[in-house]
Structure 1
């Protein structure tokens, strides 16, 4: 047995013991794709397990076998079943996935045997959303050092985190949320060096945050919300360069919000609401908004704007005044002048000839010095134009048009940076994307790639007008689209009449843009971050794909690239998130998720899916409804009633195909565009 999956049914009773030899080698896969970390691993293991059956050698370098048993989301009862594997006949260690989440298992794990771990190379153990009681197994870490993912959330565990957990040195995800664990968060948790996801929320932890948390250099998600933690928030958390989610809300934290958080380029979710924080709110943080700091009575009032004069001093004052404010310079110069006067009076016979000589020398050199400085400054402040518009663009007129990047002119933000509306002169409006410094390596290399992408032209791609790249500042200048982005369109469509023709047009526009990037552009471009906020609309609801210029370029002979994950949680393809190997089929997956959001009233990771358990998302929901013959329930009621229903179901099937687990089962964007054109509404 390689894969045994009976998840998402209504099976009940105890799980029978399986004896060795009763099952033949084969696979049974009735599951839907997962999108959280557990799901990404399971989806990855499922695919490779099937490959293992079909072609023999396993793709895992250290293991010869992958065994997966998924009993999740049923109504099983009784005690937690033991691992259902036979290890004594295996000649090599295996990777084992065991999903028991979303059932009614009960009892105490303190007597549970994890001895089979000694023969495993990797283990996923998910027993979340059950009725398990008692303390966490004290020796679990000693016995199960091979654990990759451990989820025991939503049970009734008490006590503290055992010290043996530090022996699980390959642990990537630990989810102990929604239990009754108490006491301080142990300092030894900082020894789990590989951990990327740590959730201890909704427990009874108290005391201060252990400093050792800042030692978790790979940490991407830290959730400590809804506890009784106190003291100050660790400023050194801002040094965790991979941290993208930080939830500290509903605690008793005091002190200031560390200003270092405003410089965290990877941070996308930040919440410190419902605490006792004081002081001011850090400015210019993409992830920080008034909602994320609410209910802190002693915190200064949240502002959505920033002093324009303060920002103007930051951008223009530093050039002429060495970084000091005008008042500081006046006071400093006055002070220095008074000292010179006193010195001149007391020793005029010495200083006066020297001053005359210096003045003469400076006058002679003034022309050459000023020209050199001017050339240096102009070189750093150059705006390179890719596609000319009616007026000349300079660094100064672009930055001033944004109000010196005033938050009042901010029209959107994302992982790469914030975008500002900028009216250069009356009637000439552009969009300026200010890039987060540190996200891009090498100014010269980045400038060369952007210059190449400036030549990429398609009716459904935003137009790159120009750019500025230097060590101190990076921004891109695009044509401004007054219709906002697709994310806002989806959120606000309940207030307007949305017809099938409009939704079909948006889907087709983006499909054509991606088809061009994948098949016709030289060098071809993989987007890597397709989501509603990166799709812009004009006043006629024509759609344009943005941020494509920030993807990695591939040569014409390449089919994939290995790189850091640049996508957005909920839209990123499972194989991309797991292996960092990106292909055009990863873009197809993300596109499919966007189309699903376009057709329904649900988000990719809609809160209403929480009742189904971990990993359930819009892809799972759509696949489930289609499999049960209930596809009509997926659509917005008004959209389904206005039809055409056959075409709507056809488009739903297409979106589900795009999000298929297997890369080979996903269509190319050219095939998607052709399919959409085949169901195109007739012109009125």
Structure 2
């Protein structure tokens, strides 16, 4: 790691080694061991010049600085853990709160590859995306430092025990903010960024309940005209698009589907997977919701799909926009799903629902009930893949005990699998 220009003279204390933890000075995070720091090739290069640091004002941190900020990566500061790694809350010497995410080892990325990817992430700026503050390379370990978002996650506020029901205007604001952040990643970033793990646990909320999409920095990047087929398809069961199991391809339309699941979750107050179900292969939220959304749009009665805790307290015009947007996003055919910018316009009332659905009146079964047999078959294959995954824990769509009430956390383990032979 290099000395961060952000921390010069801030009282973090000088360190004699910047390549890793100094002996027994700090405990190692769970995924690190002291052996990785002994190789000469792990020794740091010269500190970067100020103009060479990450992004606009972003920089690199030493291991010692992040250890000091997180209290030695203490259990008390552990925000959560998931498929990508561990997240600790930290406080920089300036007083700024941050979330330090230590990525799991084994990615195979070299230092230059990692820094190149981080540079792309560091150039992403949007009010509905969690900002990257900096990074650290310590031997084989990679850490990302994000801004700390204080008001926990959408998952927590929707499903936390003993919490008041989230008001309709708040739900709509969160849906719109998340859509804007995702649209920016898909359509305004160069190269385009596909998130790959959109879910309620990755939507952080500030104190005004404005949505901020988290963990996009861990997504795969794709350039125009290139479809990426990953050797480790990532996602959370219940949010996975049906085409994942059959092709393994990652596109922005897979993100659109996952956003649609989250929108149904926000609309109904239900989890993507029923936590009380005894069989994982039972129908999930989307299988139930697709015909229900179609009926609601056809007859204008939203009682069956609206969260009963709302007690009918919602604007029916706004409700129609959300229902139509959700139904369009979770279509079986990826090609027929809208772009996220279209969803933004629909939620804001700047696009008619007929335009959102290619000129077809919302509720007509030709679009909303299309290919039901094929959809069910593909979803069953996706479920079987999830069950066969080495990371299967029987807790799909549920928060981990560590992070159920904490912000900036990874609350569900992703599903990983080998792609099919194409």
Question: TM-score of the superposition, structure 2-length normalised?
Answer: 0.67
CA distance in 2, matches of 1:617, 1:536: 24
Query: Would you say the 8 A contact 1:526–1:551 is kept in 2?
Result: yes
CA distance in 2, matches of 1:459, 1:424: 22
Which one of 32, 46, 57 corresponds to residue 388 of structure 1? 57
Which one of 384, 389, 398 corresponds to residue 66 of structure 2? 398
Query: Would you say the 8 A contact 2:256–2:339 is kept in 1?
Result: yes
Shift of 1:445: 1.6
1:526 and 2:194 aligned: yes
Distance 1:518-1:376 versus aligned 2 partners, 3 A rule = closer
CA distance in 2, matches of 1:426, 1:626: 49
Shift of 1:642: 0.9
What's 2:212 paired with? 544
Between structures 1 and 2, the one with greater strand share: 1
Shift of 1:436: 0.4
CA distance in 1, matches of 2:66, 2:284: 41
1:662 and 2:333 aligned: yes
Task: State the secondary structure of the residue aligned to 2:293.
Answer: helix
Task: State the secondary structure of the residue aligned to 1:607.
Answer: coil
What's 1:616 paired with? 283
Shift of 1:510: 1.0
What's 2:307 paired with? 636
Structure 2: segments with no counterpart, 5+ residues: 1-22, 352-422
1:579 and 2:215 aligned: no
Structure 1: segments with no counterpart, 5+ residues: 1-308, 324-372
RCO greater where, 1 or 2, for CA within 8 Å and sep 6 or more? 2
Corresponding residue pairs, total: 317
Distance 1:403-1:626 versus aligned 2 partners, 3 A rule = same
Task: State the secondary structure of the residue aligned to 1:642.
Answer: coil
* 1:649-671 deviation digits (Å, cap 9, x = unpaired): 43122112101001122111011
Distance 1:650-1:480 versus aligned 2 partners, 3 A rule = same
Shift of 1:610: 5.9
What's 1:435 paired with? 103
* 1:54-101 deviation digits (Å, cap 9, x = unpaired): xxxxxxxxxxxxxxxxxxxxxxxxxxxxxxxxxxxxxxxxxxxxxxxx
Distance 1:625-1:640 versus aligned 2 partners, 3 A rule = farther
Query: Would you say the 8 A contact 1:311–1:405 is kept in 2?
Result: no
CA distance in 1, matches of 2:162, 2:294: 28
CA distance in 1, matches of 2:306, 2:116: 44
Superposition pairs for residues 22-171 of structure 1, below 5 Å? none
Question: TM-score of the superposition, structure 1-length normalised?
Answer: 0.43
Query: Would you say the 8 A contact 1:387–1:465 is kept in 2?
Result: no
Which one of 446, 455, 459 corresponds to residue 114 of structure 2? 446
Task: State the secondary structure of the residue aligned to 2:181.
Answer: helix
What's 1:596 paired with? 264
Moved more, 640-649 or 527-536: 640-649
Shift of 1:640: 4.5
Task: State the secondary structure of the residue aligned to 2:283.
Answer: coil
CA distance in 2, matches of 1:512, 1:561: 23
* 1:155-214 deviation digits (Å, cap 9, x = unpaired): xxxxxxxxxxxxxxxxxxxxxxxxxxxxxxxxxxxxxxxxxxxxxxxxxxxxxxxxxxxx
1:650 and 2:321 aligned: yes
Task: State the secondary structure of the residue aligned to 2:101.
Answer: strand
Shift of 1:380: 9.8
Task: State the secondary structure of the residue aligned to 2:88.
Answer: strand
Task: State the secondary structure of the residue aligned to 1:312.
Answer: coil
Superposition pairs for residues 252-291 of structure 1, below 5 Å? none
Task: State the secondary structure of the residue aligned to 2:256.
Answer: helix
CA distance in 2, matches of 1:484, 1:524: 27
CA distance in 1, matches of 2:303, 2:276: 18
Query: Would you say the 8 A contact 1:536–1:544 is kept in 2?
Result: yes
Superposition pairs for residues 1-16 of structure 1, below 5 Å? none
Shift of 1:536: 1.1
CA distance in 2, matches of 1:631, 1:311: 59
Task: State the secondary structure of the residue aligned to 1:474.
Answer: strand
Distance 1:319-1:646 versus aligned 2 partners, 3 A rule = closer
* 1:511-553 deviation digits (Å, cap 9, x = unpaired): 1111111111111111111111211111111111111111111
Distance 1:576-1:430 versus aligned 2 partners, 3 A rule = same
